[in-house]
Each structure stands twice: as structure tokens, then as C-alpha cells.
Amino acid sequence: MSSLSILLVEDEGPKCAHIEGFLKDSVSNLHIKNATSVNSALRALEEKLPDLLLLDMSLPTFDIAVREGGGRPQGFGGIEVMRHMQMAGLTCPTIVITGYEAFVRDDGPVDLSKLTLELQEEFPDFMRGVLHFNSTYDEWKKSLTETLSNLGVNMEAT
């Protein structure tokens, strides 16, 4: 059986560790690749489309490193990645995992449910769900398990 390839786009180390840890415990035969900025995500997607894209919403433009602060912070960097995918004709099942329950936009605050509807409308071909992440409770694990099962991923007992 071929392994499931996942591109995890997340710039926050602790959150990345939580998600990666959970996936490794839950899915066998897994290959996870990491990207920590919009640009590295775009590069990775263009290089090889993963079986699944797990995408954070708020991302820096460049990978943060020594002498690199990340460039322009993109509060909706996840959407930027998805728009790029759409325009470039890149399609793979995508799940947004965000720590935010509300977002600030020019037209006022928008909650996660509204954003989810907007994303589903804008990216109907590959958007599979928006999950809320908080390390203090396991709701996100349940949601992720469900979404992955719906995508046909064989989940081990978690």
C-alpha cells in the first residue's frame, strides 16, 4: 500500500508538533512534509501535489530563519495559497486548521463558520473543511479524524 503524503503548512512550532504527533499516532504509512510560510507552501505544492494539504490560515511570506523575519505577515495566507492553487490549476483535498475562531477583516470581524462557508464557496473543488485548533482540548482531533475518514483515510483507533 502506498503511503499517504501530507503537506502540513504551519509556522507555529508547538501547533505543528501537536498535529504531527496526532497524525503519526492515528494514521499508518504516513509521509508528512512541512512548510512554514506561504512561499515554501507554494514551492512544495508546485513540486509535488500531496494527497492531503493541511493548511494554517495565518502565515508569514518567507520561512522565518536567522536574519529573516518572515517578510510580510499574511493574516489570510492560507487563502492566498488556495487562490494560487486555483489559478494554477493545482487540486488536492485541503483542510484548514486554524487556532482562530474569529478573524479581523476590513469589513469587520468574521467568525469561523462564516469563513468556512466563504471558503467552501470560493474553493469548491478542493476545500474539505475548516477545523478549529486548541491544544487544551481534543475537539480538533475528533474533527480531523472525521474529516480524514470522510476522505477515505484509514484511521487507526485514537
Partner 1 sequence: MSKASHKKRGYVGQQNKIRGLISQFHSRKFKQGTSGVPVSTIRSSLRTIFLESRVVLRPNQFRNFLEWTEGQIESQIPEFRKLFIGYDELRGVSVDAPDAKLATELKWVSERIRVERNRINIFRTQAIEVENLTFRGHFESAIQKLESIENECGASFWSIQLRIALEHHAGGLDRQKRYSAKVRRIFRRGLLTFISFHTSSRNEDKATIRNYLEVVENRVENHPHYDSSIKTYLYYKLGRQSPKRPSGFSDILKVEQSHSLIDLYETFVYAIQEILRRDDLSEYRDTVAECLNSVDCISDYRLTKAQLFLHGNFEHKALAERDHLVSDMLIAGNVKKSLLYSRHYFRASHPIDPWSLIYAGFGYANFSRDRHLRRGSPGDIPKLIGCVASRADTAYDAFSQLSKLTLNFCGLPSTVGVRDLLEQIYGRYPDNEIRPWIVGLNSPTIGVEDIPTQWDNYSLDSSVFSKAVTPTTVSWDAFRNPTGESELPSQDTRVFIMAGLLRAKLFAEAIKVVDHIDTEANLEPTKALATFGRLHAKYSIGARQDVIDLLVKEGTRGFGRRKLLPIQKSLENYVWHDYKSMSSRMSAAIALHLLWSENDSRNTESLLRFATREFLEKLEAGVPSSLYDHADEYPRNELVYFLRRVCVPKFMDHATAFRGTADLMEERQKICAMLRFLDPVNSDEYQLEIAEIAQRKAMIDGQWIVDRTRIHVDTDALKRWAKKEISESFNRYVDLLDIDPSVDVDLDQILNEIMAEPVVPSNPTAPKTEAEVVLVSLLKQLGDQFLENPSFGLDFYLSKRIRHQSFVGLIRGPAEFTHLITTRESLSGEYRRNDHWLRKFENIERESLAAIDEAFLRFSEKFDAILGFAKNTKFQIRSNQHRDGLVYLQLYQRHIYMLSKVSSEYTTLSEFVDLVATMLWTSVEPSLSRVRKYICEDIKTNIVQSFDELRASVRKHAGNQSAAFLELDPVIGQCSADVQAQLDVAAQWFTRVLDLNALQQVFELEQMVNIAIESSLRCQRAFEPKIEKTISDGDVKMAVSTLIFLHDVLFVALDNVRAHSGLKRPKIAITARIDQQKETLELAITSDVSRNVDLDLAGRNIADIQAQIDKQEFESKTSIEGGSGFVKLAAVATQHPMGNIEFGFQNGGEFRLGVTYSINIESIPLEGHGE
Q: Which of the residues 4 through 63 are near partner 1 (CB under 8 A)?
A: 11-15, 17, 38-39, 42-43, 58, 61-62
Output 88 or 146, the one with its CB closest to partner 1. Answer: 88
Angle at the Cα of 27 (from 36 to 96), degrees rounded to 5?
A: 40
- What's the Cα-to-Cα distance from 63 to each of 38, 96, 97, 111, rounded to whole Å? 8, 19, 19, 28
Under the binding rule (CB under 8 A), the answer on residue 66 touching partner 1 is yes
Among the listed ranges 1-9, 27-35, 102-110, 145-153, the one in contact with partner 1 (CB under 8 A) is 102-110
Q: Dihedral of CA 14/20/23/24: which sign?
A: negative
| Residue 87 interacting with partner 1 (CB under 8 A) | yes
Which range in 19-27, 28-36, 84-92, 141-149 contacts partner 1 by CB under 8 A?
84-92
Q: How far apart are the first and last CA of the chain?
A: 21
H or E segment at 8? Answer: strand 4-9
CB of 16 to partner 1, least distance (A): 11
Q: Which of residues 114-133 bind partner 1 (CB under 8 A)?
A: none
Asked whether 131 and 143 are in contact (CB, 8 A), the reply is yes
Say what the alpha-carbon torsion angle 107, 108, 109, 115 is, to the nearest 10 degrees: -10
Closer by beta carbon to partner 1, 14 or else 152: 14
The answer to the question of residue 91 lying near partner 1 (CB under 8 A) is no
Q: Does 88 bind partner 1 (CB under 8 A)?
A: yes
Cα separation, 55 vs 96, in Å, equals 5
List contacts with partner 1 (CB under 8 A).
11-15, 17, 38-39, 42-43, 58, 61-62, 64-72, 75-76, 79-80, 83-84, 86-88, 99-104, 109, 111, 134-137
